[in-house]
Amino acid sequence: MTKDRLYLFDTTLRDGAQTNGLDFSVEDKILIAGILDDLGIDYVEGGYPGANPTDDAFFKEKRTKKATFTAFGMTKRAGRSVENDPGVQALINAASDAICFVAKSWDYHVDVALGCTNEENLEGIAESVKATNAAGKVAMVDCEHFFDGYKANRAYALDCVKTAYEAGARWVILCDTNGGTLPHEITQIVEDVLTLVPGTHIGIHAHNDTEQAVANSLAAVRAGVRQIQGTLNGIGERCGNANLITLIPTLKLKEEFADQFEIGVPDEKLVELTSISRGFDELLNKAPDRHSPYVGASAFATKAGIHASAILKDPQTYEHVDPALVGNHRKVLVSNQAGMSNLIDELKRMGIVVEKSDPRLVDLLSIVKEREAHGYAYEGASASLELLARRHLGSVPEYFKIESFRVMVERRHNANGDLVTLSEAVVKIWLDGEKLMSVAEATGPVNALDLALRKDLGRLQGKIDDLELVDYKVRILNGGTDAITRVLIESRDGAGHRWFTVGVSENIVDASFQALLDSITFKLLKYS
Amino acid sequence: MTKDRLYLFDTTLRDGAQTNGLDFSVEDKILIAGILDDLGIDYVEGGYPGANPTDDAFFKEKRTKKATFTAFGMTKRAGRSVENDPGVQALINAASDAICFVAKSWDYHVDVALGCTNEENLEGIAESVKATNAAGKVAMVDCEHFFDGYKANRAYALDCVKTAYEAGARWVILCDTNGGTLPHEITQIVEDVLTLVPGTHIGIHAHNDTEQAVANSLAAVRAGVRQIQGTLNGIGERCGNANLITLIPTLKLKEEFADQFEIGVPDEKLVELTSISRGFDELLNKAPDRHSPYVGASAFATKAGIHASAILKDPQTYEHVDPALVGNHRKVLVSNQAGMSNLIDELKRMGIVVEKSDPRLVDLLSIVKEREAHGYAYEGASASLELLARRHLGSVPEYFKIESFRVMVERRHNANGDLVTLSEAVVKIWLDGEKLMSVAEATGPVNALDLALRKDLGRLQGKIDDLELVDYKVRILNGGTDAITRVLIESRDGAGHRWFTVGVSENIVDASFQALLDSITFKLLKYS
């Protein structure tokens, strides 16, 4: 049986960016677009060129290889031509493959928000789509407030869809902008739309205001639409958008969908879903939700005593899907078997070959687990894990020894009466029997510490001169100012190597120092 | 039109207690049962008497006034009579009004987990239900793994339901134990069950493993069931149970359900939903999910500039329900996309009335935008925004003046040769012409600074004694150790007030100090 192609449209970088408290930089956007492209998403919507400097910079270049790189913006304004509408021109001139226009499809909003006539709005849709096609780009139209608009004025909402389709839009997307539409309403309304426009041109854009964005998206697919819009981890304004991280495995693993549909995400990418989801939270500096479907740390964890013995006999009868398929794992297993094979895999990737029966492995695994329970996150800090493993297996020299460090932060009035804040760090190390002492100043305490630590490594200094800190992330692991702090550091060198280290302490300066120290040691061990 | 009565069954204290990392005390259970009873829940399932000392103690007394107080346990074991089954006897002797038996309805599990015949299992169901009725209690049967069992052996799964019903069970509940069943499957299977047993005797118990527990529950109701089982905030094993906090407003506020059904939760209790949901998280010592449907702090928050001006004209066209009905409120975010109308609305919420034409507003908006461009995030720190606004409008007294602070972090070997890290902070302030100096020690620098700052505020000290830091979040805004750091602090006081402040600096200690200082100033201004 040939399967229908179902298209995934990611709007993490546009509608997702509306999330309360979230602010993507251009670098964040480039990183996320790359992840989505790799995953096999069909359309990556990157933002709104012309609306702010970040999106302007992001759309200076095409940011995807396979995915259709999509810009978002408004349709042509009433009373001017497409050529004289700077908004539309910014979209056409952006380095994107496609434009997704947002168009009002609720007559009330045409009047109140746009202040134009219904006909002018339709004309704006048609002309914007035509100009996009004329520019050789893919045209899409997001019908904003479609479902509420349909309930208020069915004929006009349908006119908007038809106008977009007939003007040549590749996709017309039905948006549940306020998020309050229920699955059975979605089914009925989509079926009505499909009497006018083929489903292969219709998409769904759902919000989670009744906790049914996933259900609404699937109901629309079952009713016949062939494009789903959503975001990573379901981020988005208010209660969020449809969660692609939940939808992807459901579409690929549930027979009802997998037998009928094909999506662009291959099986070998599906197993990366857990790490993509958690890595994305990491980027947002957010603790991953342990209870997330498929990818949460507890998604396959069983506590129930009455289940515990039976689950060991036949786990599949207690799990709706095999956790390994999405890169997650079962948690009821008391044995460390799963952790052990993970660890051996990980070591192999580092080039460390150990016999499966080597007793040091059992120790190493329990050290890793103990440290992770204390707050270390080796998933995002493989250089620190490698150092831990190699130290345990006895192959990391002690290049130098830390005697002590001290950091002082002071805020006071200077001679001119201005309030100034200054940090000063002193680091003392032993190298080849000699005590080396360095002091450095900077605005922040960690920066000062970093400068002092790398200022004088004696005969090793030449080997770390090209080391550079790329990123520095702090996570507070539990509430209050006396909480455990985790610091993740990304480093690189002149040869283009990149590595990640972690430090954990009740003291943020101490945690930073550990991660800095691991970074230098790793550089000396591997890249010098 | 007379409406159908729909019954709500809460299993927070039983299935919800299976949540990873959760542990209710008897006192917790009493408190929660009271909240559920007040809210208008029909059945409060309190736990499993006979299984552990907590539940034994909890079931020593009836813990609800209006709700049917329900005990959970297994059906009679094969090969013994009800009278000789200590499990069933413990249930019958518990101080409960009802018993909800869990019964296997998937023949595979009858064999593997129970190790008895299919007939013995049916007999266990029937005898347990009869004994419950004979004891004058309400009998209910949770058919475990019902949907998977139905797919594997439809006839046997249906036999279990029929047996329970014919033996006199008030309710037979169809459980999606593994949580992987999809809404359209629920619809089909429920419709089949209803050809045998009336819907007024059938319930649904859904889990969230595909993010569709709410959708599955509603699909079952639409197919004809009349009891929904769920938990507060959707807590539960793995990905959680159906979320009653989402289901209740959907059932009461969405026409499709409200026109047809009546539930036990009155309108005047609905407005308490937001505080019940957040209070429950408080009890679990968990930060409430800002994006929760209906009750999340961001559930009715709008950031988009193009929406913000229209939402003020007619909020109902941008909101699927009125937030006031669930005790939540609208929040138009002041972010760098926002305009003047946002700011005026926000000020109004703070109780600051300013004429739209007041020239100070233009200044204030540009200050806010400038600070946001520098890294401040006022949408997550409304107390800092309020201070900024009130200062600009001239209404915040200078309670005290910071002369200077100094923090030192030192890591060295102590007298025993152990490496230790210690922080010491000194804060000097001017109050009523007097210089007050405080010093404090702690593990981390921010903790030390917080302690020193709050140690001696002279005559103001009594007013901040109940101030407590609840959460502390750090965000590095761009790469490298010399990056801009943003600190968000959540504070509360003894009267239950909560407020959020922000600090931004190239120095993390300095950023923390700003946020701490704003927190204290806000407390003095508003809550003392």
The domain boundary residue, chosen from B371, B392, B413: B392
Which residues of chain B make contact with A184, given a CB cutoff of 8 A?
A: 222, 256
Indicate if B326 and B449 belong to the same structural domain.
no
DSSP annotation of B505 reads E
Q: Can you give the CATH number for the domain in which A122 is found? A: 3.20.20.70
Lowest mean pLDDT among A159-168, A279-288, A332-341, B54-63: A332-341
- In-domain check, residue A368: no
Separation CA B425–CA B490 (nearest Å): 21
- Whether residue A216 is found in the same domain as residue A330: no
Tell me the backbone φ, ψ of residue B35, rounded to 5 degrees: -60, -45
Q: What is the pLDDT of residues A372-426, one digit of tens each?
A: 767 787 867 889 999 999 999 888 999 999 999 999 999 988 888 888 889 999 9
Task: Quote the pLDDT of residue A480.
Answer: 52
Band (pLDDT 50/70/90 cuts) for residue B279 is confident
Residue A253's nearest CA partner among A182, A327, A314 is: A327
**Are A208 and B293 inside 8 Å of each other by CB?**
yes
Whether A303 shows a pLDDT value over 90: the answer reads no
Q: Mark whether A197 and A315 lie in a shared domain.
A: no
pLDDT over threshold 60, residue A251: yes
| Residue of A471 and B347 predicted with greater confidence | B347
Which pLDDT score is estimated for B484? Answer: 82
CA distance A288 to A296: 7
Whether residue A305 is found in the same domain as residue A447: no
Q: How far is B309 from chain A (nearest CA, A)?
A: 8
Name which residue leads in pLDDT, A103 or B345.
A103
Q: Which of A111, A403, A450, A510 to mutate to test the interface with B (most CBs of B within 10 A)?
A: A510
B 240-259 near A (Cβ less than 8 A): 240, 243, 246, 250, 254, 256
Q: Which range is least confidently modeled, A107-116, A337-346, A512-521? A: A337-346
**Residue A194 covered by a domain:** yes
Question: A272 and A255 in one domain?
Answer: no
C-beta atoms of A300 and B510 within 8 A: no
All residues of chain A having their beta carbon less than 8 Å from the beta carbon of residue B318 are 177-178
The SS3 of residue A99 is strand
Distance from CA of A331 to the nearest CA of B (A): 10
Residue-level pLDDT at A367? 86
Chain A CB within 8 Å of residue B414 CB:
no
Which tokens is B443 given? 């593990």
Tell me, yes or no, whether A363 lies in a domain: no
Q: What is the mean pLDDT of chain A?
A: 90
**Residue to test with chain A: of B253, B320, B371, most A Cβ within 10 A:** B320
pLDDT, one tens digit per residue, over A442-479 is: 988 988 999 999 998 989 999 999 998 877 878 777 65
Whole-number pLDDT of residue B336: 46
Say if A372 falls within a structural domain.
no
**Percent of chain A, pLDDT > 70?**
94
Cβ-Cβ contacts under 8 Å, B183 against chain A: 183, 215, 218-219
pLDDT category at B288 given cuts 50, 70, 90 is confident
SS3 for A427?
Answer: strand
Q: Which of A121-130, B281-290, B450-459 has the highest mean pLDDT?
A: A121-130
The pLDDT value given to residue A353 = 87
CATH code of A445's domain: 3.30.160
Lowest mean pLDDT among A276-285, A421-430, B226-235: A276-285
d(CA B524, CA B528) in angstroms, rounded, equals 5
CA distances from A213 to A45, A206, A246 (A): 19, 5, 10
The pTM of the whole model exceeds 0.90: no
Contact B222, B246 (CB under 8 A): no
- Both A275 and A189 in one domain: the answer is no
Q: Residue B302: its pLDDT value, please?
A: 77
Number of structural domains in chain B: 3
Do both A192 and A327 map to the same domain?
no
Q: Answer yes or no: do A214 and B212 touch at CB < 8 A.
A: yes
- Average of pLDDT values for B380-400? 91
Interchain contact A437–B (C-beta under 8 A): no
Task: Classify each residue of B152-181 as buried b or exposed e, where b means 16 or more C-beta atoms within 10 Å of its C-beta.
Answer: ebeebbbbbbbbbbebebbbbbbbbbbbbb
CATH number at residue A276: 4.10.430.20
- Do A212 and A84 share a structural domain? yes
Instruction: Map tokens 């309020």 to a residue.
Output: B386
Q: What is the DSSP string of B263-290?
A: -S--HHHHTTHHHHHHHHHHHHT----T
Residue A240: per-residue pLDDT: 97
A37 band by pLDDT with thresholds 50, 70 and 90 = very high
Q: Is any Cβ of chain A less than 8 angstroms from the Cβ of B269? A: no
Task: Determine, yes or no, domain membership for B383.
Answer: yes
Q: Is the pLDDT of residue A527 over 50?
A: yes
Q: Would you state the pLDDT for residue B249?
A: 98
User: Minimal CA–CA distance to A263: which of A251, A245, A246, A250?
Assistant: A251
Q: Where is the domain boundary, B418, B438, B456?
A: B456
The rounded distance, in Å, linking the Cα atoms of A33 and A14 is 11
What's the pLDDT at B73? Answer: 96
Instruction: Say what the alpha-carbon torsion angle A121, A127, A128, A133 is, to the nearest 10 degrees.
Output: 150
* Mean local confidence (pLDDT), B248-265: 97
Q: Are A472 and B473 an interchain contact pair (Cβ–Cβ within 8 Å)?
A: no
Residue B481 lies in a domain: no
| Confidence class for position B276, pLDDT limits 50, 70, 90 | very high
Q: How far apart are CA A331 and CA B21, in angstroms?
A: 13
Q: Do A237 and B290 touch (CB under 8 A)?
A: no
Same domain assignment for residues B410 and B368: no
pLDDT in tens, A42-80: 999 999 998 888 899 999 999 999 999 999 999 999 999
Q: Is the dihedral of CA A320, A324, A327, A328 positive or negative?
A: positive
CA distance to A22, B56, B59, B134, B170, per residue, from B71 (Å):
45, 10, 8, 16, 14
CB contact under 8 A, A483 and B473: no
Count, residues in chain A: 528
Q: Which of A288 and B7 is assigned the larger pLDDT?
A: B7
**Beta-carbon separation of B421 and A505 below 8 A:** yes
Question: In B375-460, which ranges are continuous DSSP H helix?
Answer: 382-392, 445-453
Average pLDDT over residues B241-245: 98
Residues of A in contact with B405 (CB under 8 A): 410-412
- From the CA atom positions of chain B, what is the Rg in Å? 29
Check whether A236 has a pLDDT greater than 50.
Answer: yes
* Ramachandran bin of B312, using left for φ above 0, alpha for ψ from -120 to 50, beta for the remaining angles: alpha
How close A266 gets to chain B, by Cα (Å)?
20
Interface of B with A in 23-62 (CB under 8 A): none
Chain A residues inside the 8 Å CB shell of B106: 317
Least Cα separation, residue A250 to chain B (angstroms): 7
Same domain, B143 and B248: yes
Residues A444 and A423: beta-carbon distance below 8 Å: yes
Q: A19, A317, A322: which to substitute to probe chain B, counting the most B Cβ within 10 Å? A: A317
Across A486-496, average pLDDT: 87
In a domain, B59, yes or no: yes
Distance CA B520, CA B452 (A): 13
For residue A313, pLDDT over 80 is answered with no
Q: Give buried/exposed letters for B295-318 (b at 16+ CB in 10 A, else e).
A: bbbbbbbbbbbbbbbbbbeeeebb
My answer on whether B101 and B215 are in the same domain is yes
Q: Among B145, B209, B330, pick the best mutation site for testing chain A contact (most A Cβ within 10 A).
A: B209
Q: Does A275 reside within a domain?
A: yes
Chain B interface mutation, best of A239, A261, A492, A506, highest count of B Cβ atoms under 10 Å: A239
Given a cut of 70, whether residue B304 has pLDDT beyond it is no
pLDDT tens string A178-217: 999 999 999 999 999 999 999 999 999 999 999 999 999 9
* Among candidate residues A433, A456, A479, the one where a domain is terminated: A456
Per-residue pLDDT band at B281 (split at 50, 70, 90): confident
The pLDDT assigned to A326 comes to 94
Are A194 and A66 within one domain?
A: yes
pLDDT-based confidence at residue A335 (cuts at 50, 70, 90): very low
B236, amino acid identity: G
Would you state the pLDDT for residue B312?
Answer: 64
Q: Given this model, what pLDDT does residue A211 score?
A: 98
Q: Pick from A368-382, B160-174, B348-362 the range whose average pLDDT is largest.
A: B160-174
What pLDDT was estimated at residue B263? Answer: 98
Contact (CB, 8 A) for B103 and B75: yes
Domain housing B332: 301-392
Residues B106 and B128 sit within 8 Å (Cβ to Cβ) = no
Pairing mode of beta strands B68-74, B43-47: parallel
Q: Does A237 touch chain B (CB under 8 A)?
A: yes
Instruction: Report helix, strand or coil for A132.
Output: helix
Per-residue pLDDT, averaged over B181-186, amounts to 97
B126-142 pLDDT per residue, tens: 999 999 999 999 999 99
B202 CA: distance to closest CA in chain A (Å) = 21
Q: Does position A334 have pLDDT exceeding 50, yes or no?
A: no
Q: State the smallest CA–CA distance between residue B325 and chain A in angstroms.
A: 15
* ipTM of this complex prediction, to 2 decimal places: 0.74
**Which residue in chain B is spatially nearest to A144 when comparing CA positions?**
B318
Distance CA A484, CA B315 (A): 42
Give the residue from B108, B188, B211, B509 with the most A CB atoms within 10 Å of its CB, the best one to mutate: B211
Give the A window 336-395 contacts with B, CB below 8 Å: none
What the block records as the tokens of B206 is 């859904």
Q: Do B406 and A411 touch (CB under 8 A)?
A: yes
Where are the alpha helices (H) located in B94-239, listed in sequence order? 107-109, 118-134, 146-152, 154-167, 183-193, 213-223
A235 min Cα distance to partner chain B (Å)? 9
| pLDDT for res B331 | 74
* pLDDT computed for residue B480 by the predictor: 52
Predicted confidence at residue B478, as pLDDT, reads: 61
